[in-house]
Amino acid sequence: MHYRNIEQAAFQAWPAKEQSGTETVVMRCSDGYTKRANSATVLTASSSEHESLQRSCEQFFGDRNLPCIIRLTSRSQAQSLDQHLAERGYLFKDRSLILDMAMSAQQPMIPPALDTQADSGLVFQQPRQWLQTFCDLSGMQFQEHLAHLAILERIDQQMILAQWQVQGRAVACAVGVLSNGYFGVFDLVTAPNARHRGYATNLLNSMLEWAVDQGATHSYLQVVAVNDAAIKLYQKFGFSQSYEYWYRIKAK
């Protein structure tokens, strides 16, 4: 099933420090860094198991001194579970979209941005170097992202940690991970003073070309539903909505 293929690829592409699961739910924790690596993803919901599933999740995260975060998808038939959690005080958070597209060697890519300079291009980095670039472009402190670094260093799939440089200066970066033919794109960011110049387009274009060369058959990414600018960028490449997800977080 395409939906489960994307979910499994995403689990491998963004590996948790600890993961356990069944056909119904996958529980993951990674020292609290990102909700997607510290939540229980419900793959299939059963109306008769809401209480036991809630208790299992609360015990799993409680034992690790983490907030109980449950991730629901529009493909998991979880409407009644979502209502159950809402009635028990779980807060709704971060509705997001999974966009995907089929890929092939004959697939036309977007032409480079008009203002692309001759001395610009794609550069690959190692995890620590890439994370420093990510933090610099995002205005964040490297020392606050050590759990992020640990996730990058755990990735055991084909991966590119990419940046787009102009005159030797990084202006955009992203992570790409290929797992079982599914190429996931994560952490795409552009420097604030370099936006609206086509650098993210060029970066993503080059990453997708790399993925096709490596045998990717599909590409997917996750984007917050209100991020219209990013969604428009991805749609230019041919990405379309596959399904959506959101989190339910136990109120303190």
Arithmetic mean of pLDDT over the chain: 90
How many other C-beta atoms are found inside a 10 Å radius of the C-beta of residue 50?
19
Pairing of strands 69-73, 240-250: antiparallel
Which candidate, 145, 153, 159, places its Cα nearest to that of 9? 159
Express as a percent the part of the chain with pLDDT over 90: 71
pLDDT value of position 247: 97
Q: At what angle do helices 199-213 and 228-237 cross, to 10 degrees?
A: 40
pLDDT per position as a tens digit, 180-215 = 999 999 999 999 998 888 899 999 999 999 999 999
Helices (H), 74-125: 79-87
pLDDT value of position 159: 96
Q: Is the CATH number 3.40.630.30 carried by domain 104-216?
A: yes
Q: Indicate the domain borders of the chain.
A: 2-99+246-250, 104-216
Tell me the three state secondary structure of residue 201. Answer: helix
